[in-house]
Amino acid sequence: MAKSEYVLFRVAIALGLLLGLGLLVETVETYRYVSGNLIRQEAQKEAQRKTIALERAARAAKATEADDARLTPSMTSGLTSQLGRF
């Protein structure tokens, strides 16, 4: 009778180990997805936001491609630093 008591305990331990391994695999997969795809997507969104802000500032300064002299030095340095980051 002592063995039958331990069988249920061993089965519970085995199921717990399987559950733990399953959660470990899921955690690793989630980490890989976040570190690969989501970070890249967020960087693209941030670049789009900064591009839109720069375009608005250029429109506010009424700058055109032929008339880049109207861009303020801070806008030019901001654009240069942002391009350097990407």
pTM for the complete prediction? 0.49
User: Which domain, by its residues, includes 41?
Assistant: 2-85
Which has more confidence, 85 or 19?
Answer: 19
Q: For the chain, give the number of residues.
A: 86
Number of structural domains in the chain: 1
pLDDT 10s digits, 36-84: 898 889 999 999 999 998 888 878 777 555 455 555 666 666 666 666 6
Instruction: Give the pLDDT confidence of 3-32 residue by residue, as tens digits.
Output: 777 898 899 999 999 999 999 999 999 999
Question: Residue 66 has what DSSP assignment?
Answer: S
Q: In angstroms, rounded to a whole number, what is the distance separating the alpha carbons of residues 30 and 51?
A: 30
**Are 70 and 59 contacting, i.e. CB atoms less than 8 angstroms apart?**
no
For position 25, what pLDDT does the model report? 98
d(CA 12, CA 71): 70
Contact indicator for 71, 63 with CB cutoff of 8 Å: yes
